[in-house]
Structure 1
Amino acid sequence: MRLSLLAVVILLVACDSPSPGMRGGGHFRAEFEGIKVTIWKRQDKVEIIRHSFAYGQESGQIICAMAQAAASETGCRLRPETIEGDAGVLRARLQCDAAPQPATICPGSRKSDAASD
């Protein structure tokens, strides 16, 4: 019984741990559109781990909320061409400089200013 309880505790703690490549970076906890996440940031990389249950939501909506939470907390946008993962764990590179920001990954949102000219 004690061994089972210990295994459950270890698994729950591991759920919020960053991947080895993100160790040593900072982290934030955030909620966006009801999606609770932990955002790990190291240099220009970000890893977003979802914690909340997303009943009845499409994975695209969840990924969009995760990306927007990361952008809000880091002050940077996710570079769409670098995004990998799924609605549970998302990894990407950030663009934080003053250059024009890349298009957002969320459906129905405006593309970059260069695309609208």
Structure 2
Amino acid sequence: MRVTLILPLFLAACGAQPAPHMFGAERFEASRGGHDYVVFLKGNRVEVIRLGWASPGEHQAIRARMIELIPELTGCKLRESSLQGDSGEMRGLVTCPRSAPRPAPSA
């Protein structure tokens, strides 16, 4: 019984983790519209995770905000036709300029 109660607390303390194929990715964090987001960038792949709960009426705006965060935080352009996911987690492909410096990743 104790393990059942401790495991969710442990997992919640870990924060957002990328999908296994994104391990080692650059990590960016942002807060917008009362929600926190984590963006992972590895090569030409990107993953965006919304942290926390959202009410049913917020999901369309959250999805749009997640799409906006990709170029803002990474400096890369999203290939919108590659985008998969929902307002909790999205994955897609990006095109990044070779010479332009990216914003510094969050700690």
**Category of TM-score, reference length = shorter chain:** 0.7 to 0.9
AA at the equivalent of 1:89? E
Q: Which residue of 1 aligns with 2:68?
A: 68
Find the structure with the greater CA-based Rg: 1
Partner-residue secondary structure (3-state), 1:60:
helix
The structure, 1 or 2, with the larger RCO (C-alpha pairs under 8 Å, 6+ apart) is 2
- Name the structure 1 match of 2:104: none
Structure 1 outlier segments of 4+, above 4 Å:
none
Deviation at 1:12, TM superposition (A): 1.8
Number of equivalent positions: 98
Task: Work out whether residues 27 and 41 of structure 1, in 8 Å CA contact, stay in contact via their aligned partners in 2.
Answer: yes
Identity, % of aligned positions? 30
Q: Secondary structure at the match of 1:94?
A: strand
Q: Distance in 1 between matches of 2:88 and 2:56?
A: 15
What per-residue deviation string (whole Å, max 9, x for no partner) do you get for residues 55-104 of structure 1? 35343321110111222110122111010011100001112238xxxxxx
Q: Which residue of 1 aligns with 2:8?
A: 8
Which shifted more, 82-91 or 25-34?
Answer: 25-34
- Normalised by the length of structure 2, the TM-score is 0.77
Unaligned runs of 5+ in 1: 99-117
